[in-house]
Amino acid sequence: MAVRYFSLVIGLIYSVLGFTGLIPSLVSPAAQIPEIMKQVGVTDGIGYLYGLFPINAFEASLYLVVGLTGIAGYVAGTEAFARLCVDTLAVWLGFIGILGLIPVANTFFGLMPLYGNDVWLHLGSAIAAAYFGFYLDRGRRDQDPSVPDDLKPEPLSRTPFRSDS
């Protein structure tokens, strides 16, 4: 159940970031635009969301997709689908967080800014999503009544400890 609520919370947070990233009055203009972004031409709405997170229209739309993925994981009603959504978010947010650490790729090849505080936002979200998706409820499939018995793993048998002394 915790993975469904986490999916909802992360979905709402990124949806709010996406919607507010598209509102020009909440995005302070950037003093300096990276050269590759000028060359590629994705400079629409570039600035700092709340003065903290570098953002442009492309990244705001990506945040909306991430938010809708998280909300879909909650609305679907099954914990398995919520876990799939959270696992997907963990992988993709971790990927773009790591790209933000690489100087050559920190603008996603000119499409969106991934540097600065965005790195910590993406990596922090990825770590939390990995915890809830991959780690927290591992092994619950054994007790899930919706999984057929033939798909449940066999319980591990323990061998008794013998001392040869």
Q: Collapsing DSSP states into helix, strand and coil, what is residue 55?
A: strand
The total of other beta-carbon atoms located within 10 Å of residue 161's CB is 5
Closest-CA residue to 49 (of 24, 12, 66): 24
* Angle CA 107–115–54, to nearest 5: 90
pTM tops 0.75: yes
User: What is the chain's pLDDT, residue by residue, as a tens digit (165 residues)?
Assistant: 789 999 999 999 999 999 999 999 999 988 877 777 777 667 778 889 998 999 999 999 999 999 999 999 999 888 889 999 999 999 999 999 999 999 888 888 888 899 899 999 999 999 999 999 888 766 555 556 666 666 666 665 666 666 665
In this structure, the chain runs to a length of: 165
Residue 28, strand partner residues: 48
7 vs 61, 77, 138, 143, CA distance in Å? 18, 11, 16, 21
> According to the model, what pLDDT value does residue 155 have?
62
Which strand (E) or helix (H) includes residue 19? helix 2-21
Q: Which two tokens stand for residue 99?
A: 């790209």
